Amino acid sequence: MWTLIGRLGMPLFLREDTPFFFARFFIRVTSPALYLFDPVTPKFLIRPLIPLYVAWFFFLVRFYLMLWVLGYTVMGLLSFPLENEFASALDYFVGLLVN
């Protein structure tokens, strides 16, 4: 999702055929996702906005479908249970390193 949003911002500063390695990485990594979502992408969208449209699908999967599949209940607005678990695990490992 974030890579697609990054690809949305790249044309603001660089051409799509740029030799800059970072931009080529974003294009190479996101092109398969754009191709995969091409059948459901509306044709009226302008080309630079297509990565944002595809990122929206990844957002939906990440914040709704994954939580439902993993068995989380709705805990309120802006509640991110997976990030809470990640932060707890990171705190645990940092505590092991410090102590």
pTM: 0.60
Dihedral over Cα of 44, 46, 47, 49: its sign: negative
3-class DSSP assignment, residue 30: helix
Provide the 8-state DSSP code for 45: S
Confidence of residue 9 (pLDDT cuts 50, 70, 90): confident
Structure tokens that stand for 28 in this block? 């190479």
67-81 pLDDT tens trace? 777 776 665 545 667
